[in-house]
Structure 1
Amino acid sequence: MIRISTYMMFQNGQQAIGNSQSQLMSTELQLATGRQINSPSDNPVGAANVASLSTTVSELSQFKSNQGAAQLQLNLADSTMSNFVNLVQDVQQRLVQAGDASYSDTQRAALAQGLQGDLNQMVGLANTSDGQGGYLFAGSQQSAAPFSQTGNSVTYGGDSTLQSIQVSQNRQLQIKFSGDDLFQKIRPGNGSFVSAANAGNTGTGVIDAGSVTNPSALTGHSYTISFAVSGSATTYQVQDTTTSATVASGNYTSPTSISFAGQQVAVSGAPAGGDTFTVAPAPYQSIFTTVANAIAALQQPAQAPAANAQLQIALGSALSSSSQAMDHLTLKQAEIGNQLQQLNSYSTLNDDRTLQTTSALSLIQDVDYAKAASQMAQQQTIYQAALQSYSAVSKLSLFNYL
């Protein structure tokens, strides 16, 4: 026979009440917080998984916020570049109009005023704010507008640092740009070399922008094309100003294509004896300088034949340089568009991963309310039974039987 002492019965009763109460309170806490795990002791392995998944969700949330900021900046940059391209198209249309031989100096001056407006708007767009106290096209120099304008001279005060933001675990996306790269690092002329007339030319010779016929033969040297007139005969000579060597020569009749060192230019009109033209590698030239040069050319009287020839050369140079600028700007705009496409892809991936991670976190952490409510009802019944049982046992005494 097993003897159970009164002390053991009391201890067992108290333990049963304590266990039932603890389980009931745990279930009540789960229902109150909506979580299965409220302390690491509830489920050590599950708690570790919850901590890891919560960190991932927090990172994904930050990436989502960064993607929103990047979307705003890139949309603004894309819109600004679109407006800038429209202005360049307007410049080209005015330059074509200015080439009309029937236009007077007054009409060309009116076109110059239109170009002045275009130039001012370009500078304004290049100084577009990012909406957060900085500038889109200043690089990392965000305290002041990147471009300053004095008359028609435009200078860049930003830098070439490209600002990026992290939009995924392994991807930084550029959201701000260097105005120097966008608006200044443009090759004028035909993109390889530029042709020009000597300001002292007295004839009506006009040189075009030229073209590259053999890229492998380009030397990077500068050349001078000079003309000589003897009676009714006109000849030309091309001299490499770097080596002082004569690289081409011949008789001239209008028009004539002159080829040398992998490049070709066409000269038309009637150059005077001693007139010269230059052909040199194209340096970087900003779109602002291109427009400013066109304005200056249109403001000059051009009724005299020699002056008109200078004007036609200047307009041809401005048109070819603006075409180079258009190609450059549309390429940069396409790069921004490509970044927007990448951002949309990263945003979709981020949303998918967030959904997967939060679903996995919910399976581990979130409580099943129906199951927990049923469990609490059972635990309350067990707890009440433990209390009643302990109450009954506690009243037992030998004196009741004496």
Structure 2
Amino acid sequence: MRISTAQMFHQNINSVTNKQSQTSQIIEQLSTGKRVNTAGDDPVAAAGIGNLNQQNAVVDQFIKNIDYAKNRLSITESKLGSASTLASSAREQVLRAVNGTLTDSDRQTVADELRGTLDELMAIANSKDESGNYLFGGFNTGSQPFEFDASGNAIYKGDSGVRETVVASGTTIGANIPGDQAFMNAANGLGDYSVNYLAGQTGEFSVESAKVTDPATHMPDTFTFTMVGNDLEVRDSSNTVVTTVPAFDPNNPVSFNGMEVKLDGKPAAGDSFSLEHKPEVSLLDTINSAIALIEDPNMVNTPAGKSELAQMLNNIDSGMNQLDVARGSAGNSLKSLDSYAATHEEEKIVNNSALSMLEDLDYAEAITQLEQQQQALSAASSVFTKVGTVSLFDYI
């Protein structure tokens, strides 16, 4: 078989080049610590590595989302805890004001303390996170959610939006508590109606509850109750008599218009009060109204004033319960976030273990292969050198 000089050189050069390429590949593996650096190293393993890296990228994004949500909810939960403490303090201050032995100066001191508590509550309701966004504004995080209008009523300028955070495939968790859910829409302590007592009240009584019992037949309105002699007369907003309870007995509730009203104590003849449909009350408004009542020396010690304070205490209790529910909601979300975070961390451990099996280099085996390749390269180079110097003239 004849082999041309060009063919001989070509074969020897290819042999040396291949050995150099194989040696370089092993050196690259040793430098990166990876068995698979390109798809050509192991196509099947490269496909698995790509899938696992993609899964880890998705998991990392979930973990980032969870960390962001946990940060906001942790601040929210802490703020709501402080608000609950302040609401409890406000209740104690209102209870102090009920004491009939207090002087006008003492009650003013209580009112001043209560105003300070209200200011602190407003500051919490208008809290911001580390990015300068309002915590309790719902979707409206760029403007202050709470303020008092010219009439002294609390106004909520946020919305009821809950910002959902994706924490797993197909799973979201709310990362905020809207301000109306925490501070504004507490259930009325009396039920579905609030009471307006008149300063001329002489009887020792208060409304214990005013609840809708039959929503199908109930028509919301403002109702006025008046003791006419020994009978209790009820009129609607058009001054039409709705019902009259002869020989009124406070042990029996007054039922009409799909609602039921219970009184604690009996009004005196001529006493009157009204019920306004108001199933929800604001903790901020309640405290503000309590301050105004305590500062009014002509009202606070009257039977009507005491009855109003009793109603306000009920509404403060309801507001405290609302804060506790909102705080509990934040706490439950934090617990769920911790659970999802732990699941994702375990998933990453499993993925990384699989990645290690697919791409990590066995250094002992690689070093052995490198030595073999280097010897083979040296041998190929030596053969090429010797063959390249052979000439026919050496044998003539």
Q: 2:201–2:303: 8 Å Cα contact kept in structure 1?
A: no
Which amino acid in the other structure matches residue 285 of structure 2?
Answer: T
> 4+ runs of 1 displaced by more than 6 Å?
none
Q: 2:135–2:176: 8 Å Cα contact kept in structure 1?
A: yes
Structure 1 residue 50 and structure 2 residue 49: aligned?
Answer: yes
Q: 2:293–2:299: 8 Å Cα contact kept in structure 1?
A: no
The alpha-carbon deviation at position 321 of structure 1 amounts to: 0.8
The alpha-carbon deviation at position 338 of structure 1 amounts to: 0.6
Percent identical: 26
SS at match of 2:47: helix
Which amino acid in the other structure matches residue 313 of structure 1?
Answer: S
Aligned to 1:102: 101
Partners of 1:7 and 1:191 lie apart in 2 by: 104
The alpha-carbon deviation at position 267 of structure 1 amounts to: 4.3
Aligned to 1:193: 193
Aligned to 2:9: 10
If the length of structure 2 is used for normalisation, what is the TM-score?
0.90
Aligned to 1:260: 255
The alpha-carbon deviation at position 264 of structure 1 amounts to: 3.2
Partners of 1:160 and 1:217 lie apart in 2 by: 28
Which amino acid in the other structure matches residue 37 of structure 1?
Answer: V
The alpha-carbon deviation at position 339 of structure 1 amounts to: 0.3
The alpha-carbon deviation at position 4 of structure 1 amounts to: 4.5
Aligned to 2:136: 137
1:94-138 residue CA offsets vs partner (Å, 9 max, x unmatched): 222222233333322221111111110110000111111111111
The alpha-carbon deviation at position 70 of structure 1 amounts to: 1.3
State the number of aligned residues: 392
Structure 1 residues 330 and 215: alpha-carbon distance in aligned structure 2, compared to 1, 3 A threshold: farther
If the length of structure 1 is used for normalisation, what is the TM-score?
0.89
Structure 1 residues 238 and 205: alpha-carbon distance in aligned structure 2, compared to 1, 3 A threshold: farther
Structure 1 residues 333 and 303: alpha-carbon distance in aligned structure 2, compared to 1, 3 A threshold: closer
SS at match of 2:302: helix
Structure 1 residue 393 and structure 2 residue 384: aligned?
Answer: no
The alpha-carbon deviation at position 248 of structure 1 amounts to: 4.2
Partners of 1:38 and 1:7 lie apart in 2 by: 35
Partners of 2:211 and 2:280 lie apart in 1 by: 18
The alpha-carbon deviation at position 235 of structure 1 amounts to: 2.7
Structure 1 residues 146 and 216: alpha-carbon distance in aligned structure 2, compared to 1, 3 A threshold: closer
Partners of 1:394 and 1:242 lie apart in 2 by: 120
Structural RMSD (CA):
2.5
Partners of 1:242 and 1:360 lie apart in 2 by: 78
**Which structure 2 residue ranges, 5 or more long, are not aligned?**
none
Partners of 2:147 and 2:267 lie apart in 1 by: 42
**Which structure 1 residue ranges, 5 or more long, are not aligned?**
none
Aligned to 1:374: 368
Partners of 1:172 and 1:362 lie apart in 2 by: 31
1:83-162 aligned within 5 A: 83-149=82-148, 152-162=152-162
Structure 1 residue 312 and structure 2 residue 309: aligned?
Answer: no
Structure 1 residues 114 and 285: alpha-carbon distance in aligned structure 2, compared to 1, 3 A threshold: same
The farther-off stretch of 382-391 and 50-59 is 50-59
Q: 1:257–1:264: 8 Å Cα contact kept in structure 2?
A: no
